[in-house]
Structure 1
Amino acid sequence: GARPAEKTAPLVTGTHTSLVRASLANSNGDMSANGAIASHLQLIPKKAPSIPKPKWHAPWKLSRVISGHLGWVRCIAVEPGNEWFATGAGDRVIKIWDLASGKLKLSLTGHVSTVRGVAVSTKHPYLFSCGEDRQVKCWDLEYNKVIRHYHGHLSAVYSLALHPTIDVLATSGRDSTARIWDMRTKANVHTLTGHTNTVASVVAQATNPQIITGSHDSTVRLWDLAAGKSVCTLTNHKKSVR
């Protein structure tokens, strides 16, 4: 029942010397060095993270200011052939502009509230849009009219993305969900639930995770597209992910 004797021993490691209390663990005289190791580690300075230096380039110059919308411009998408680009704004209009000259080519009306997202398909001549009117539309730019509606969101739709290799469309919005749509049949293939606030941004890519979302709940989620389930939640942001 007698307590093991205690003694103080110096620990010398490199140039650091610290006094640690080591207790005799058993009758063989084995000493526990946990305290010594912890004390020594506290003395090692932490290495500052290295930050890569950006490559220098000549200062950017403003080449053109394009005006025409009557409300905040909320989204922009460049056509894959680099000949024109589309913008959506608070005036509920989608405008098509010539990229080289900056001249207005076309105005598309149909949304009844702010247009929040536009995306141009690599398969000519389709343009997709979404807005605060809860609508997601597919436009045929040969006839300049809507040919498909994707119904399902319960509130404003803030973002959309086209999958690069398969015919699906991802949208997200204020109903705290992201939705996956079959472009052709208009079917709501998956409703991605898990976020607890507005899903402000969605990205689609060919490799896993094929769908990534950012939300006002301060998290980023990675999704399994085939299963329609979240596989990872990133929580390092302190405020809304937009």
Structure 2
Amino acid sequence: MEIPISTTLLKDFKATKTFKDNQKPITSICFNDTGDLCVTSAQDESLNVYDCKDGEKRSTLFSKKYGVNLARFTHASSNVVYASTKEDDTLRYLSLHDNKYIRYFRGHKQRVVSLEMSPLDDSLLSASLDNTVRLWDLRSSACQGVVTTTGRPTAAFDPAGLVFAVGTNSGTVKVYDLRNYESGPFATWNLRDDYYYPDGIPDWTGLKFSNTGKSILISTVGQTNYLIDAFEGHVKQRLSGHSRLLETSYGEEAGFAPDGRFVFAGGRDGDLHIWDLENPANVAGPIHDNRPMCTLTTPHAGNIRAVGFNPQYMMMVTASDDLAFWEPKSALDLAR
């Protein structure tokens, strides 16, 4: 029986299992296509793979020489691609089965801060502090295309895999047709929040499309994140009421629930904050100021650096120095 996501259900989520497998903070979380597996990367240069159904760790691999961040499952659950943090700025395509590299993707000159697989095919999108966004194909080491930006970029595919958006700290979002990106963006939006930030929105850490394709979430290092319309580019809501995020974050600390109605984010206070986008609080000002509908106390002692909502199962995952699996108490009662 499929259980719909609701405010009542989300408030009922509990951390059901905590894993203390890392010596340093976890920096990214990714689920495979079926939702059966979760892979994490951490500052201790490890990759951990967890079974979401059984609630157990499956394996640990290390990337001691190159470091590891932003680990992403490809469409094959036995393979991941990840960004390096040492030695060079190469992307590495790894077989989890035998711990061997399948391919390297070279081209970035500084650290990669955004990495995403296409939901449609084997295309890969990476953004780097070298002010470029690069397109790749897992079947070839050659870069398939480059978009130059001004300022630190972040990038994401839309849920159909037909367009991608690039955001920069200059306060601009540019949207490209994947098949015709060389012609430049087909939409450019300049975002401002003069009510709270007349000198410019705080530095952006991430950009994510909702699974519905209707909204884009911009996460920042400030105490506000922004919801923008994915078709027209205007700011729909300011999401506030949570702790300031880490300046070294990669946008992994915030995301959408699968239905696109709810946004969740961690931060320095170690709590998990959840916003209901359909019922924003009306506060005076030109932008709806939406505050969390609830705040969940987590088992983490430190900063929450990564969160994820499994798109196939009714479960959330949060990460700090340790990893926690979350499920609604009501769903657990029904399963018994």
Cα deviation 1:14-67 (Å, max 9, x = unaligned): xxxxxxxxxxxxxxxxxxxxxxxxxxxxxxxxxxx9985434684422222221
Mapping of 1:88-103 within 5 angstroms? Answer: 88-103=127-142
Q: Sequence identity, in percent?
A: 19
> What is the aligned counterpart of 2:144 among 98, 105, 116?
105
Mean CA deviation greater in 166-175 or 212-221: 212-221
Q: Which secondary structure does the structure 2 equivalent of 1:63 belong to? A: strand
Do 2:159 and 2:210's aligned partners in 1 also have CA atoms closer than 8 Å? no
Count of residues in correspondence between the two structures? 192
Cα deviation 1:182-218 (Å, max 9, x = unaligned): 1112121110110231374321133486211122343
CA distance in 2, matches of 1:123, 1:241: 29
Deviation at 1:85, TM superposition (A): 0.7
Residue equivalent to 2:270:
218
Do 2:211 and 2:260's aligned partners in 1 also have CA atoms closer than 8 Å? no
Does 1:241 find its partner at 2:241? no
Residue equivalent to 2:167:
130
Deviation at 1:79, TM superposition (A): 1.4
Q: Structure 1: which 5+ residue stretches go unaligned?
A: 1-48
Deviation at 1:134, TM superposition (A): 3.5
How does the TM-score come out when normalised to structure 2? Answer: 0.51
Deviation at 1:139, TM superposition (A): 2.2
Residue equivalent to 1:167:
214
Do 2:114 and 2:128's aligned partners in 1 also have CA atoms closer than 8 Å? yes
Paired residue type of 1:112: T
CA distance in 2, matches of 1:121, 1:208: 13
Paired residue type of 1:205: A
Residue equivalent to 2:176:
139
How does the TM-score come out when normalised to structure 1? Answer: 0.70
Residue equivalent to 1:70:
109
CA distance in 1, matches of 2:169, 2:112: 14
Residue equivalent to 2:224:
177
Mean CA deviation greater in 86-95 or 135-144: 135-144
Residue equivalent to 2:57:
54
CA distance in 2, matches of 1:150, 1:124: 23
Q: Structure 2: which 5+ residue stretches go unaligned?
A: 1-16, 20-54, 60-95, 194-200, 281-290, 306-336
Structure with the greater relative contact order (CA < 8 A, sep ≥ 6): 1 or 2? 2
Do 1:175 and 1:197's aligned partners in 2 also have CA atoms closer than 8 Å? yes
When Rg is computed on C-alpha atoms for both structures, the one with the higher figure is 1
Residue equivalent to 1:188:
235
Residue equivalent to 2:41:
none
Paired residue type of 1:113: G
Do 2:171 and 2:190's aligned partners in 1 also have CA atoms closer than 8 Å? no
Deviation at 1:106, TM superposition (A): 0.4
Residue equivalent to 1:148:
188
Do 1:171 and 1:178's aligned partners in 2 also have CA atoms closer than 8 Å? yes
Describe the shift of the 1:125–1:234 C-alpha distance in structure 2 as closer, same or farther (beyond 3 A): same
Deviation at 1:86, TM superposition (A): 0.8
Q: Which secondary structure does the structure 2 equivalent of 1:152 belong to? A: coil
Residue equivalent to 1:32:
none
